[in-house]
Amino acid sequence: MNVQTPPNLLGDPTNELIEQARRVLPGGSFGNLPAEVILKEGKGGHIFDEAGKEYVDFLLGSGPMFIGHAHPEVTAAVQAQLPLGTTFFGNNRHGIALAEAIVDAVPCAEQVRFVCSGTEADLYAMRAARAFRKRDKILKFEGGYHGMSDYALVSLAPKSPGNFPRGSIDSAGIPKSVADEMVVAAFNDIDMVRSLIEEQKDELAGVIVEPFQRLIPPKPGFLQALREVTAEHGIPLIFDEVVTGFRFAYGGAQEYYGVTPDLCTLGKIVGGGFALAATAGRADIMKHFDRLAMTDEDFIFQVGTLSGNPVAAVAGLATLEVLKRPGTYEGVFANGRRLMDTLSELLKKHGIKAQVIGEPPLFDIIFTDQPVKDYRDTLKADTALQKRFNQALRARGIMKGDSKYYVSVAHTQADIDHTIGAWEEALKEIK
């Protein structure tokens, strides 16, 4: 693998692009990776930057590229559709087929409504719960990520968390009143959740949760107890599966953990690398999107110019076909377990106070030796050391975000070996 930057006789194109980006983009970036990282190409489990440097890719476009970049079957499906039209603002056979595939795969999904992003999917899932329950408040968990809507940006990443259940607003431009409509609890604390639901059951429209919150797995029994208490009071339970859908199992985290919510949201993998996401769930809740079935008072108005477009739909269908093949998930989990186990061993070898948390398809290192069960526990971590570690890895041809290793179907044993070698060197560097 080429991890060296080759000489460029015409000058460094990256510097020119960085300067151009600074002129036209706030902060010189799209708001994701650092401005100096400018990517050019993805192939399988690797990406390449504008300077020609090659990386083992554990970023995966923030998760969508689960079967690898430019997968030939996805590419062929998209190329076949392009001459036939890219969007129609109407039903098409591919979008209908993808909706049927979701219903067949995902335990809670009886009906599906397409949107273009996880943010939209989560927004409409919360809106559907409000329409169904005729209540306004949503309970969420501190540190849980549910997109970029006003409601989602309550207690996503508070620097100085306050007292539960009052949430804090994490972005400029959001009305302070939004926090009044959100009830915030600690992830993995079922006693707190039960208490809050009992106190506010007459005001709650729904509960939204990442069944696997960012990097933190649910404690044994937590999701089951959450399911029981919400069902007891008739409160819709929403699983945000934008990240975990089709990643932890073909049926998502709800299949993996054995708990079925009332609604879920899907994105990333299900669009095959294109802009497609979905809200899915019980038919009696989803019917609020049906103008003919609802009164004006109960109808949820939802349209999107590109929702369910055929290009994204065929990409999603091709991706799901790959995932259905025998051994696909077993391979991802085997590679993920090897990576997690080896990284844990290396941390012990080098005497570094850190731990590996997550599940085999999605994990990272947290630089603290204290137990991590919720968002506030992550604040104990040494983030400066984590940044140094990530930078040392990038210099050695490993691409990842600030947090999370996304393991891909396309990662090879050679990729795993290269990553382990990079970890060994990077840990020596930061000691």
CA distances from 371 to 100, 141, 366, 404 (A): 41, 18, 10, 18
Q: Which alpha helices (H) appear in 180-327, and where do they start and end?
A: 190-200, 222-232, 252-257, 283-286, 310-323
Mark whether 240 is an active-site residue.
Answer: yes
Neighbours of 416 (CB within 10 A): 19
Measured CA to CA in angstroms, residue 12 lies from 2, 9, 34, 49 at distances of 17, 8, 18, 12
Instruction: Using alpha carbons, list the distances in angstroms from residue 374 to 170, 192, 241, 355.
Output: 18, 13, 18, 15
73-111: string of b/e by CB count within 10 Å (b at 16+)?
ebeebbeebeeeeeeeeeebebbeebbebbeebbebbeb
Whether the Cβ atoms of residue 155 and residue 142 lie closer than 8 Å to each other? yes
Longest dimension (CA), the chain: 69
Place of tokens 């693998």: 1
SS3 content of the chain, % helix, strand, coil (to 5): 40, 15, 45
Count helices and strands (H / E) in the chain: 13, 14
| Assigned token pair, 251 | 């049926």
Contacts of residue 269, Cβ cutoff 8 Å, sequence gap at least 6: 63, 64, 66, 245, 246, 247, 319, 323
DSSP-derived pairing of the beta strands 46-49 and 39-43? antiparallel
Sign of the four-CA dihedral 52, 55, 57, 58: negative
**AA letter at 408:** S
Report which of 93, 96, 109, 111 is spatially closest to residue 293, judged by C-alpha positions: 111
Point out the catalytic residue in the list 55, 124, 145, 151.
145
User: Among the options 53, 140, 268, 287, which is catalytic?
Assistant: 268
Active-site residue 145, yes or no?
Answer: yes
Is residue 151 among the annotated active site residues?
A: no
Instruction: Please pick, among 57, 189, 240, 377, the residue that the annotation labels catalytic.
Output: 240
CB 272 within 8 Å of CB 64: yes
Residues labelled catalytic: 145, 240, 268
